[in-house]
Amino acid sequence: MANSASPSARKTAPNPAAVPQTGSGHDWLADLGALIVDATSAIGGFAIFSGRTLAWLATRFPRGDTLWPNFYQVGVLSLPVVALTGTFIGMVLAVQSYAQFRALGLETRLGAVINMSLVRELGPVLAATMLAGRVGSAMSAELGTMRVTEQIDALASMGANPIQHLVVPRLLACLFMIPTLVIMADFMGVVGGYFYSVVILGIDQHHYWRNSEQFVGNFDLFSGVFKSLFFGATIALVGCYRGFHCAAGAEGVGRAATAAFVISFVLILLLDLLLGIMLEALYAYIWPEGAKLF
């Protein structure tokens, strides 16, 4: 050793000039700055991650043995819970709306309200929320565990790209399966609303369907399914991103799973608003007279 002093003794004392000032004004400014830097970094990281996923998606289609288990997990296993949720939401809509519509003598219009709400908003948003809770969190926890136990590093070390192998199949599964789930949620919601309105409340069946037919068009169905594609992509990308960037330990995995659901849910609502505005504008542009698509 060139220097005979002990290494610990040679550790330099902190330079007072380098120690940050601790005034309260400085603190909140520093915290705000750190928050902005962290948020920008997270958004940038997510954008790069999404871009790399789309690049791999365009380059090489995943093998069937990595694709089908994800389709099964996302689509088949989510079907019962989405169908159940849809049914109950249809019935709840009927319960909540009936009193007000009856007071106005418009109870036969319940079909239009229930079915319009379902196919345009509640079907896609609820199916996406269920998927974010059931699948997005699970993706995040699974990939987070793989990160913590070095399985993602193991994949990379064997010359397999982790994004191509783990993220692309999950994204495709969400993209292809969510429209199916939304249609199932819509269908079961319509059945649930019909059952409660017609069978339980005794509303006239003919007028119930007649009003539905008048107010609910194919564009409404299309807009719900169209929005769900964005919701599906969001659930997969956020879930996988949080899993890939999970902190160490069981706590890190738990936080990643929770964050995946919360962030997905907020983004789903934000996208729902933005896409809703865009689709309304598109509808008004194409059919200024209010004509229906198809």
Partner 1 sequence: MASPHSNTVPPNADGDDADRAGATSAHSAAVDVLLEVRDLHVAFGRHAVLRGLNLVVPRGQTLAVIGESGCGKSVLLKTMIGLIRPTQGQVCFDGRDLAGMSERQLTSTRVRYGYVFQQAALFDSMTVGQNVAFPLRQHSDRSDEEIEQRVLSRLAQVGLPASVAPKKPAELSGGMRKRVGLARALALDPELVLYDEPTTGLDPIMSDVINELIMRTRLSYPVTSIVVTHDMHTARKVADRVVMLYPLARLAEDEPQIIFDGPPSELDRSGDRRVSQFVKGEAGERISELRGA
In the complex, which residues of this chain contact partner 1 (CB under 8 A)? 1-3, 6-8, 10-11, 52, 145-146, 149-151, 153-161
The separation between CA 145 and the C-alpha centre of its own chain, rounded to angstroms, equals 21
Q: What's the min distance (Å) between Cβ of 264 and partner 1?
A: 23
The H-assigned helical ranges of the chain are 7-10, 24-59, 64-71, 79-103, 110-117, 123-131, 137-148, 151-157, 162, 168-194, 205-215, 218-244, 249-286
Nearer to partner 1, 64 or 287 (CB): 64
CB of 236 to partner 1, least distance (A): 18
Q: Nearer to partner 1 by C-beta: 95 or 160?
A: 160
What phi and psi, each to the nearest 5 degrees, are found at residue 85?
A: -60, -45
Pick the closer one to partner 1 by CB: 7 or 288. Answer: 7
Q: How far is the CB of 60 from partner 1 (least distance, A)?
A: 10
The token pair that represents 180 in the structure block: 């199916």
C-alpha closest to that of 115 among 227, 226, 269, 218: 218
* CB of residue 279 to partner 1, shortest distance in Å: 37
Q: Give the angle 213-217-220 at the CA atoms, nearest 5°.
A: 135
Is 153 or 213 the residue whose CB approaches partner 1 more closely? 153
Which residue, 4 or 21, has its beta carbon nearer to partner 1?
4
Closest contact distance (angstroms) between CB of 142 and partner 1 is: 9
Q: Which two tokens stand for residue 7?
A: 């290494």
Residue 174: closest CA among 119, 133, 230: 230
Closest to partner 1 by CB, 11 vs 25, is 11
d(CA 238, CA 235): 5
Residue 105 beta carbon to partner 1: minimum distance, rounded to whole angstroms: 59
